Structure 1
Amino acid sequence: MNAENETWLLLFPICINAIMSVSAYYLTVHLIPRIKSMFVKANLYGIDMSKRTSDKVPEAIGVVTGCVFLIIMFLFIPVPFTNHILRNENFPYDKLVEFLAALLSICCMLLLGFADDVLDLRWRHKLLLPTIASLPLLMVYYINFNSTVIIIPKPLRPWFGFSLDLWILYYVYMGMLAVFCTNAINILAGINGLEVGQSLIIATSILIFNVIELSGSQWKAHQFSIYFMLPYIATSLALFKFNWYPSQVFVGDTFCYLSGMTFAVVGIIGHFSKTTLLFFIPQIINFLYSVLQLFHFVPCPRHRLPKYNKETDKLEPSTTVFYKSELNTIGRLLMWILKTFKLVKLQEDRKGVVTCNNLTLINFILINTGPLKESTLTTILLIIQIISSILAFIIRYPLASIFYDV
Structure 2
Amino acid sequence: MYGNDQCKVSNAPVPEPMGVICAAVYLIVMFVFIPIPFLEWIGHEAEFPHEKLLAVLSGLISISTAILLGFADDMLDLRWRHKLLFPTLSSLPLLMVYYVSGNSTTVIVPSIVRHLLQPWILLPITINISFVYYIFMGMVIVFCTNAINILAGVNGLESGQSLVISASVSLFNVVQLVRLESENSTGFWHHIISLYFLLPFTACTAVLFYFNKYPSRVFVGDTFCYWSGMTLAVVSILGHFSKTLMLFFIPQIVNFVYSTPQLFHLVPCPRHRLPKYDPKTDTVSMSVAEFKKSELKTLGKAFLAICRAVGMLHMEEFERTETVTCA
> Greater CA deviation, 299-308 or 92-101?
299-308
Within a 5 Å distance, the mapping from 1:121-132 to structure 2 comes to 121-132=78-89
2: CA distance, partners of 1:250 / 1:234: 17
Name the SS for the 1:342 alignment partner.
Answer: coil
Amino acid at match of 1:352: E
Structure 2 counterpart of 1:290: 259
Within the candidate set 292, 304, 308, 1:339 is matched to 308
Amino acid at match of 1:186: N
Which runs of 5 or more residues in structure 1 are unaligned?
1-43, 358-406
Structure 2 counterpart of 1:24: none
Within the candidate set 63, 69, 73, 2:30 is matched to 73
Within the candidate set 202, 206, 215, 1:246 is matched to 215
Structure 2 counterpart of 1:36: none
Within the candidate set 133, 145, 163, 1:200 is matched to 163
Structure 1 counterpart of 2:154: 191
1: CA distance, partners of 2:267 / 2:220: 29
Q: Shift of residue 87 of structure 1? A: 5.4
Within the candidate set 137, 153, 160, 2:110 is matched to 153
Deviations for 1:261-296, whole angstroms, at most 9, x for unmatched residues?
Answer: 000001011100111111111111111111111111
Within a 5 Å distance, the mapping from 1:314-329 to structure 2 comes to 314-329=283-298
Name the SS for the 2:216 alignment partner.
Answer: coil
Q: Shift of residue 74 of structure 1? A: 0.4
Structure 2 counterpart of 1:303: 272
1: CA distance, partners of 2:72 / 2:122: 45
Within the candidate set 192, 196, 206, 1:223 is matched to 192
Deviations for 1:237-272, whole angstroms, at most 9, x for unmatched residues?
Answer: 111121122111100010010000000001011100
> Greater CA deviation, 346-355 or 89-98?
346-355
Amino acid at match of 2:274: L
2: CA distance, partners of 1:273 / 1:303: 29
Amino acid at match of 1:82: L
Within a 5 Å distance, the mapping from 1:5-404 to structure 2 comes to 44-86=1-43, 90-157=47-114, 158=118, 159=121, 161-162=123-124, 163-215=126-178, 216=180, 217=185, 218-350=187-319, 351-357=321-327
Name the SS for the 1:46 alignment partner.
Answer: strand
2: CA distance, partners of 1:203 / 1:278: 13
Deviations for 1:301-350, whole angstroms, at most 9, x for unmatched residues?
Answer: 15211011111111011111111222222111111111111110001111
Name the CA shift for 1:330/1:96 in 2 (closer, same or farther; >3 Å). Answer: same
1: CA distance, partners of 2:273 / 2:251: 17
Amino acid at match of 1:206: V
Q: What is the TM-score normalised by the length of structure 1?
A: 0.75
Contact 1:152 1:160 in 2 (8 A): no
Name the CA shift for 1:93/1:305 in 2 (closer, same or farther; >3 Å). Answer: same
Deviations for 1:325-382, whole angstroms, at most 9, x for unmatched residues?
Answer: 222221111111111111100011114311101xxxxxxxxxxxxxxxxxxxxxxxxx
Amino acid at match of 1:194: L
Percent identity at matched positions? 55
> Greater CA deviation, 250-259 or 215-224?
215-224
Q: How many residues matched?
A: 314
Contact 2:293 2:324 in 1 (8 A): yes
Amino acid at match of 2:322: G
Contact 2:263 2:271 in 1 (8 A): no
Cα RMSD (Å): 1.4
Q: Shift of residue 146 of structure 1? A: 4.6
The structure that is helix-richer by fraction is: 1
Name the SS for the 1:312 alignment partner.
Answer: coil
Amino acid at match of 1:265: V
Amino acid at match of 1:73: M
Name the CA shift for 1:254/1:88 in 2 (closer, same or farther; >3 Å). Answer: same
Name the SS for the 2:73 alignment partner.
Answer: helix
Contact 2:74 2:221 in 1 (8 A): yes
Which runs of 5 or more residues in structure 2 are unaligned?
none
